[in-house]
Amino acid sequence: MDYRDKLIVKPGHKLRLKDIDPAFKGHHETHESAVQELEHYRQKLGQMQALLYAEKKHAILIVLQALDAGGKDGTVNHVFTGFNPQGASVVGFKQPTPLELEHDFLWRIHPHAPPRGWVAIFNRSHYEDVLVTRVHKLVDKPTWTARYGRIRDFELELAESGTTIMKFFLHISKEEQLARFAERLEDPARNWKISESDYTERALWDDYIEAFEDAITETSTLEAPWYAIPANHKWFRNLAVSQIVADSIEDLGMSFPKPSVDLADIRRKYHAAEDEEEKEARRE
């Protein structure tokens, strides 16, 4: 199954998250049955990144957005674990600093756009400024609606300069979110991730869903498409994201660059030096 066709939010179509089952599992019923395919795409991602880094003609930007406990960190940890850190970066955009607030909302984003040959993963992103700011009424409606156009222009500029953009909304149910909060409360290794606001923000669930639907509908374009990923099952989330990213990079038709030196000449010199060393060793 090609999850790009299945899960893309088509430009010009209104996204309605109620029509997407967050527990969807594709053609696999269990994690165990998906393990082989997951491993295939994990390896493929590593191969595609090696090509990307060597060729240095393209850049990749991956945007992850979700409600709290939606799985952004887990996606980074499990899907992109095969990436070479030498050619990849992960940036988490938290609450803006006082300095960042003195500038336009995209000012803090642009320096983290990937150079050619690199993959950049945004764990939260410029979309926070049409989500949190809207839900908490930090800006008025004319401001956040105008930002949709600025986001489209920003992403188009990146695309036209050689950046392939893929944006993922990790869609979990309200019940699944509560279950994940409970797991964090009981897991000493994840207690630090729980805060009071995790629970108080649940009262704004419907407002966030509406904000996500509008933002994704307004900014899913041919150059920078959104994918709505059913994410109640973490293994399916990982499979869908890894397939979409790996296949999209493969479609760039990359190849390793030709050597910049004369390999035959190097081989002759190397073997001549090797032969001379062997002769010297025999004399000794």
pLDDT at residue 95 greater than cutoff 80: yes
pLDDT of residue 111: 96
Helix, strand, coil tally for the chain in percent (to 5): 55, 10, 30
pLDDT at residue 273 greater than cutoff 60: no
Q: Who wins on pLDDT, 260 or 21?
A: 21
Domain that holds residue 143: 3-283
pLDDT of residue 259: 82
What is the average pLDDT value for the chain, to the nearest integer?
93
Among 15-29, 44-58, 188-202, 203-217, the least confident range: 188-202
pLDDT of residue 279: 64
Rounded to whole angstroms, the Cα distance separating 81 from 85 reads 9
Across the chain, how many H-helices and E-strands are there? 11, 6
pLDDT of residue 276: 61
pLDDT at residue 96 greater than cutoff 80: yes
CB 210 within 8 A of CB 17: no
**Average pLDDT value for residue range 164-193:** 93
pLDDT at residue 189 greater than cutoff 70: yes
List the CATH number of the domain containing 93. 3.40.50.300
pLDDT of residue 275: 59
CB 42 within 8 A of CB 104: no
The number of domains in the chain is 1
